[in-house]
Structures are given as structure tokens and as C-alpha cells.
Amino acid sequence: MSLSTLFDEIKDPKNRPDPYPLYARLAGHPVVRQEDGTYLVSSHAAIRALLFDPRISSADLPPAKSPPTGNPFKDWILQPIKDEIVSRHRPLIFRDPPDHDALRRIVMTQFTISRVNAMKARAEAHLGELLDKRCGAREICVVEDIAYPLPVTIICEMLGVPREDEPTFQGWATQLATALEPDARHDEETQGQTRATFDAISAYMKVLIKEKRRHPQDDMLSGLAAGTEAGAMGEFDLIATSILLLVAGHETTVNLIANGMLTLLRHPHELERLRQDAERAPRLVEEILRYEPPVHFRTRKALADIAIAGEVIPEGAPVVLLFAAANRDPARFAEPRRFDPDRPDNQHFSFGGSLHYCLGAPLARIEGEIALVTLARRLIDPRLVDDPPPYREGASLRGPKTLRLSVDRIA
């Protein structure tokens, strides 16, 4: 099949278990135009150049447009105002400078390394509780039993969300993550579900923010609601930012843990080495991020004609940065298809790069390390029930839907 329709193949759910042969077909073709005018960028060098290019915009979401209700007052006055507010106050990953930079500075005053490090003991304790609940079982699902509940508890605790509301947040995060899938932006049914979810979580956050202002506590949302030396967010930006922190702090970490455990079970020697030596965890997680990343691509838009890698991306064209392809670029990595935790100079793109480098990267690394070390030690003789496992539909946020393991016991 022609390279001009390769992105359709990448998005096809049947290729979710192993999209890497598709990426390999792009070797020698760093920038490829698709039939619909989208440009795929796959080489490490080209993606790095575009990440630092101000002519590439992250503000690529279509304008918000609510469906008609049949009520003239709502359709002609209220809904257009609401749509304008939503379009102007997107989460910061869909914003460009100077708005992006101002919002990011404020978030960074609360998303501090000390606050992240303080969650390490909490993550270890919660993970222990999750595994203790499964003691005596001969089968465990890494996704349902570990990878979903662990990150949502941690990010909710950091934000200051009440523990009893965590299950609701998990459902909201799962639905809102579909906004990162290109086709979901044009599917009316998915858009309707996303709008309803966004409205529900916005209403919840509005009440919670008001409570944090009345009774501030030592959590991120209290700090953001009070304002910082870097400035204060308006109400709409504060709600959008809190929603982003929830989704970004949850969905990607689910995939990191699940992809990581799947990779270790396919490389049992590395699983045993981790069991014997927990100090290997940081380099192992770094290689998992390169080899089986939780985010396979992100979309952008060209603000001007951009000449790169022998091609010209025209102004206004949609651009897809294929991070997972660049992570296995043979021009950048020796033996890129080999899983090698001792790989030197492992500069992958799994947390993006430049202005939009992932805010939660330190937290994701800590959660991934704790989860994999603990699972390696406590799961006695784990075996995959399904290989490949069933995958979630999303092509951008790629990870197993379930990851069932048979075990002799849980220590």
C-alpha cells in the first residue's frame, strides 16, 4: 500500500498490537504527505527540528461547536458564548506562546519536584494495598487491578480531590483522553460524549475550586486557586488546567505501567534482573518509554510554509509527529528494535519536547518504577494469558485494554 495512506493503517485498530512494521516503512521518508493533506513526520531529526520550530502550532483543535437544541435562545445566544469560552480557554497542551508559557509557569509553581517526591511513599503504600487485595488469587489483570487505580489515586491526591470521588474521575479521564485521537475530533457521537464529560467535570471542578478558596489545603488545586508569584489563572483556565492534569496524569501512566509489564514478560531475563536489583528500574523505565511508549504521536498545525527533509509542509497543513517511529529510528538508535535497558544516550520523545515537554514526566517515571519493581517482586512466576493482549482502540494513547497474568501466588 502507498505511503500516502499509511496514517489510515496506523489508526486502524487491527494494527494496534504491533504498529512498528508500519513505522519501519517510513525509513528513508522522514516527511510524507497523506492523501488528505496531513503530513507524517517520523525521523528523529525532523521531529526534533519541528518541536523547536515556532512555525508549528499546538493550537490545532477545531473551534468548539455545540449541536443545535431547537431552543432559539440557547442556539443563538448561550451556546455561541459557551463555545467561544471553550475555544479561547483550551488546556495548555493545545495553546501556543505567550498563553502557553504563562499558564505553564503558574502550574510549575505547584507541580514541584518536592511535591512529586513526596508522593513516592504514598504510591508504594497504595500499590501494596492493591496487591494485598488480590492475595490468594491465581490471576491478576495488570490494567484493571494496578495500572488504572494507582495513577488516579496519586493525581487526585496531588490535586486535592476527595478519595471517594476517584472512581468517577477515572471514568471521566478515560473519555476525555479520546480528544487526542484525530478521528474522534470529527465523530459527532464521540464529540457529544466528550462535551457531556467535559461539562460534568467542569461543574465538579468549579465547586471544588470554590471550596479550596474557602478552605485551602496543602494540595495543587488550593495553590492554583489562590494564585502564585507567577500570576493567577482566570476561572476558565483554572478549570481547563485541572482537567488536563487529571487526564495527562492518569491515562499515559496507565499505558506506561501496562506496556512496561508486557515488555518485561516478553523479556523474562530482564524481569528477573529487575527482581534481583531494583536499582535497574530507572534505566529500564527509560528504555520502555523508548521501546513501547504510552503516546505514539501528537498532532500539530503549520503556521507557515516549512521546508524540512526535502519536503515543504504548507501553511495550514495538519502535521502528525510520530514519536514512536522516531524512538526506533535506525539513524538515531543502534539496533532500535532491540529492548536494551543498558542503552546509552537514550533521548526518546515519549514525553514530547521543547515548550510542551510533559509536565508530569517526573511523576510518571516514579510511578512506573515503583509499579514494575513491586510487580516483579510480588508476582511469583507470572505468565501472560493472552499474547498479544487486547488493545484499547486509541492509536495515539496506545496500551493494552487488559493484561491478564496467571501467577503461582502473590507474595
In what helix (H) or strand (E) does residue 122 lie, and over which residues does it extend?
helix 113-133
Domains and CATH numbers, the chain: 3-63+94-410 (1.10.630.10)
- Would you say 359 and 108 are in contact if contact means Cβ atoms under 8 Å apart? yes
- Position 307 scores a pLDDT of 98
User: For the chain, what is the radius of gyration of the CA atoms?
Assistant: 21
Q: pLDDT under 70 in the chain at which residues?
A: 1, 230
**Cis link prior to 388 (omega < 30° from 0)?**
yes
Strand order in the sheet with 139-141: 139-141, 404-406, 383-384
- Would you say 206 and 199 are in contact if contact means Cβ atoms under 8 Å apart? no
Q: What is the pLDDT of residues 308-365, one digit of tens each?
A: 999 999 999 999 999 999 999 999 999 999 999 999 999 999 999 999 999 999 999 9
C-alpha cell at 407: 501467577
What span, in angstroms and rounded, lies between the C-alpha atoms of 177 and 188? 16
- Would you say 48 and 353 are in contact if contact means Cβ atoms under 8 Å apart? yes
- Position 1 scores a pLDDT of 63
Q: Which long-range contacts (CB under 8 A, 24 or more apart) does 262-271 make?
A: 262/142, 262/292, 262/384, 262/389, 262/400, 262/403, 263/288, 263/291, 263/292, 263/339, 264/372, 264/376, 265/382, 265/383, 265/384, 265/405, 266/384, 266/387, 267/339, 270/339, 270/341, 271/376, 271/382
Residues 6+ apart with CB under 8 A from 279: none
Sign of torsion, CA 257 105 230 88? Answer: negative
- Position 144 scores a pLDDT of 95
DSSP-based three-state secondary structure for 407: coil
- Position 172 scores a pLDDT of 83
- Position 228 scores a pLDDT of 72
- Would you say 283 and 342 are in contact if contact means Cβ atoms under 8 Å apart? yes
C-alpha cell at 399: 496500551
